[in-house]
Amino acid sequence: MSGSSAGAMSRGGLAIAGEVRERWPASVQPAIAARRLAKSYATRHEPVVALETIDFSVAEGEFLAVLGPSGCGKSTLLKILAGLLPATSGEASLRGTPIAGPRRDIGVVFQSPVLFPWRTVLHNVLLPADVQRLGRAEHERIALDLLSLVGLAGFEHRYPWELSGGMQQRVAIVRALVHDPAMLLMDEPFGALDAMTREQMNLELQRIWLERRKTVVFITHSIPEAVFLADRVLVMTPRPGRVAEILAVGLPRPRSLDVMSTPDFGVLVKRIRAHFNAQGGLDA
C-alpha cells in the first residue's frame, strides 16, 4: 500500500516545504540542508530501512520540530545530523559544509540529561569547553550567565543528583549552548518529564531560543509540543521514515501556554494528527 500513497504524500510535503522556503530570499544559504538523506541498517536477513530519502532545510535561526511516531527513524536522523552515524546515501550539511563526523559547532541534547555525577553542575556545563580545550575562565562566565538564564543561578556548585529531573535537563540544555554552537539538536529532551514540568520546559526553551536565536532541530513525538515550539513542523511517516509534510506554524511569539487552546493551534494539531490516523496512529 505504502508505495503510491506515501509517494503522493511526500510530494505534497515537498510542495508545502517549497512554499515555506519562499519566505526567505534565495541568496540566503540554509543553516542545515538534507538532500536525499537515507539510512538503512544491515541485519542478518535483509537491510532495515530506517530513513528513506529525506529532504529538508532549516534556515539560520529557525526552530524546526521533527515529529513522528516511535520507530520512524527520527532519532536516526538526529544521529546523522550530530555526526554520530554516517548516512547510507545522500548528504546533510551544516552552513554549507557536509556533516561527515562529530563537529564542534553542534550542541546536542539527549532524551536523558546525561550528566556526569562526579562533576558539579558548573563543570558539567563546562564539559564541551574541557573537551574542545576552549578557555575555561572565559567559558565559566558564559556558563554562569546561561545557568542564570535558565533559573539555575546558585546551583552551579551542586551535583546533578541534588537536582530534579527538570533542572537536570536544563543543565543539559545549557551544556549544549556553552560552546556557542551554530545548531542545537534536541532528541525528545522533555520526553522523560511529567506533563506539568514538560510545559514549563517548553516555555523555558522558547524563552532561551528567543534570546539566543540558535538554529534548532527538535525531535518529539508530541504534536502539541511540536506546534507550540516550532516555526515549522516536519511530519514523518512511520517506518521507514519519510517526510509526510512540512508545515509552517504561523503563531505569533512569544507564545504562552494559552495558545494551545486557540482555534489556529487546534487546526494545526488536527491537520498533523490526520497523517497518523491515516497510518495507524501515533505511538502505536
Partner 1 sequence: MIGLRNAVLRLCLIALSLAVWEAAVRLFAVPVYVLPAPSGIFVALYRGIVSTLYVQNLWVTLYETILGFIAGTSLAFLLGTVVALSRRTEYFLYPYIIMFQSLPKVALAPLIVVWFGLGLTSKVVNAALIAFFPLMVNTIVGLRSADEDRVNLMRSLDAREWQIFWMLRLPGALPFIMAGLEVAMIFALIGSIVAEFVGSQAGLGMLVQTLNFNGDVAGAFSILLILSVLGLLLNQIIVTLRRRVLFWDASQKTAAHDAGKGVGL
Cell numbers representing residue 242 in the block: 519519510
The site map against partner 1 for 103-142 (x = CB under 8 A) is xx-x-x-xxx-x-xxx--------xx-xxx----------
Nearer to partner 1, 24 or 110 (CB): 110
Peptide bond into 254 cis (omega under 30): yes
Nearer to partner 1, 102 or 254 (CB): 102
Out of 2, 21, 159, 200, the residue judged to bind partner 1 by CB under 8 A: 159
Distance CA 42, CA 239 (A): 15
Shortest Å distance, C-beta 156 to partner 1: 16
Binding flag, residue 262, partner 1 (CB under 8 A): no
Shortest Å distance, C-beta 75 to partner 1: 11
Nearer to partner 1, 158 or 207 (CB): 158
Out of 61, 102, 151, 254, the residue judged to bind partner 1 by CB under 8 A: 102
Shortest Å distance, C-beta 177 to partner 1: 13
Shortest Å distance, C-beta 54 to partner 1: 20
Instruction: Spell out the residues 6+ positions from residue 196 whose beta carbon is closer than 8 angstroms to its own.
Output: none
| Cell 548528504, residue located | 91
Using only the alpha carbons of the chain, give its radius of gyration.
Answer: 19
Instruction: Spell out the residues 6+ positions from residue 106 whose beta carbon is closer than 8 angstroms to its own.
Output: 81, 82, 83, 94, 181, 182, 183, 184, 185
Burial class of residue 50, CB neighbours in 10 A (0-12, 13-18, 19+):
buried
How many residues lie near partner 1 (CB under 8 A)? Answer: 24
For partner 1, the binding residues in 62-91 under the rule CB under 8 A are 79, 82-84
Out of 28, 161, 195, 196, the residue judged to bind partner 1 by CB under 8 A: 161
Say which DSSP state 30 is in. P
Distance CA 55, CA 97 (A): 16
Under the rule (CB under 8 A), what is the footprint of partner 1? 79, 82-84, 101-104, 106, 108, 110-112, 114, 116-118, 127-128, 130-132, 159, 161
